[in-house]
Chains A and B, each alone.
Chain A
Amino acid sequence: MKTVNLDYTAATPVDEKVLETMLPFFREHFGNPSSGHSLGEIPREALEEARVKVGRLIGAEESGKDKIIFTASASESNNLAVKGIVAAGKRKGNRIITSAIEHFSILNQLKSLEKEGFEVVKLPVDKYGLISPDQLKEAVNDQTILVSIQAANTEIGTIQPLKELAAIAKDQGIPFHSDATAAAGWIPLNVEQLGVDMLSLAGDQFYGPKGSGALFVRRGVRLRPLIEGGIQEKGLRAGTENVPVIVGLGEAARLAHNSMSERSEQVASFRDKLKESLFNEVPHLHLNGHPEKRLPWNLNVSVEFVEGEALLMRLNMEGIYVSSGSSCTSQALKSSHVLDAIGLPPELAQGSLLLAAGLKSREEDIPYITEKMAEVASLLRMMSPLYHQYLKEAKNNANVQ
């Protein structure tokens, strides 16, 4: 059966070159970077090389004063950033500012901190998912210990005005963290120019291995580790380093950095053509997210009158893999908090589809995707009470006129 993957944000395959750089570190160079003898040397050097490569991707200085901490996921990086700042307790206060559309690895730990007495301010977003710098300005006060705002949203692709937002925190001396998981590897991110103090990313979003995360920590930002033990990762993450995976992350970061504009143009071109084709051929589609300020690989549409899981299953039967923000596709049975925050009506949120392009997405598949999307939408609409209600109303309106 023909298959088309449009879910490259769930996972990207590991790049061949990335895999090649990883393999020797499972066997020949299996040594522990902390060893005093020769076996530790090559792994230790490889770790530092990976650190430099990841640093280059995000514009971190190579002076070694800033830190790149390797973790096992962006979720872990986000936890280290938030919990680490809170536990370090360097700044007095109890207010933490974030946005309504952060990943659960930010929102859920803040929910826990709220129970412990912290005051969490979740900035609202506009209908495109943009956070207003003015609202951040109003929210910061002398009790604020951290601002954490994503670089871009995975689900709707909206890119935030990070530089402006970070400047507001900097003005007050408040540490600014950004979850850049969806953006890293795809759009230019320069921690110096943006002025962010901490930044999370994960290699599996740009053709690195799963289990590869990193947190950039600017010099002077004091964190308490989540995992205490040895002094690996400058004491911020105890435990023997996962050398092959870290080497893979480094190489994936190098490749993403070197070919960022080509890659971005490639996926954006596919995404734009897919969008045009779908909007031309499938009636009653609604674009979610910002029309321009969005990640190059991201397309999010709501298929009116139908529910997302049914769409996902039908498309899956046609070999087309997508994801949805409907409540039925989530384990918690809640529709996406992101779509809720942009004020999307529930029936549209239920019919949302995230179409995430990747480097292997091929333009020649667009007619197939379009044809199947039209077929599946029409089939599900024929059994939808909302669609029949719409048809009836349209008919009545026509009669009135």
Chain B
Amino acid sequence: MPMYSEKVMDHFTNPRNIGEVDDADGIGEVGNPVCGDMMKFSIKVKDNRIEDVKYFTFGCGAAIAVSSMVSEMARGKTLEEALKITNKQVAEELGGLPGNKMHCSNLGADALHKAIHDYKEKQGGKK
């Protein structure tokens, strides 16, 4: 078992915001079982802000903690702000990740961004 920070262990033990939002405005899925991690983020958007964000995650301790942290960081942010959340920030907020687990943090922000792009695409389609 890798050495995880207290914060990672906290988010792994008590992951926040698990689930899928009702009538999601945007959905972002990344990863696959071959690489070992898979995340599915769903968001509810109101007045250009992320009103609600939930996720399902298949993956290791780091992947679960990252999903939980990304959901907390994204909630209430404008779409532009949320798109600026970087993988590095997520890892920092978690008090760091072991070197070989950094790729997990990449997935978290990617899944969130994908959900936002999905929302934007759907909005574009409506116009």
Contacts and interface: CB of A to CB of B under 8 A. Distances in A.
In this complex, the member of A305, A312, A350, A382 whose beta carbon has the largest number of chain B beta carbons within 10 angstroms is A350
A331 interface: yes
Nearest to A383: B18
A307 B34 CA distance: 11
Contacts of B59: 307, 310, 328
**Band of interface residues on B:** 20 to 34
A307 B58 contact: yes
Contacts of B32: 346
A385 B39 contact: yes
A214 interface: no
A148 interface: no
B60 to A, nearest CB: 3
A179 interface: no
B64 interface: yes
**Band of interface residues on A:** 20 to 34
Interface string B10-22: 0011010010100
A349 B18 CA distance: 24
A94 B57 CA distance: 48
A331 B36 contact: no
A261 interface: no
B38 interface: yes
Contacts of A366: none
In this complex, the member of B15, B18, B35, B37 whose beta carbon has the largest number of chain A beta carbons within 10 angstroms is B35
Interface string A386-401: 1010000000000000
A384 B57 contact: yes
Interface in A293-324: 305-310, 312-313, 316-317
Contacts of A309: 1, 60-61
Contacts of A41: none
Nearest 9 interchain pairs by C-beta: A328-B60, A347-B33, A309-B60, A385-B56, A327-B36, A385-B40, A346-B34, A346-B33, A383-B18
Interface of B: 1, 12-13, 15, 18, 20, 29, 32-40, 55-64, 100-101, 103
9 contacts: A307-B37, A310-B12, A313-B12, A327-B35, A328-B60, A333-B36, A385-B57, A385-B58, A386-B58
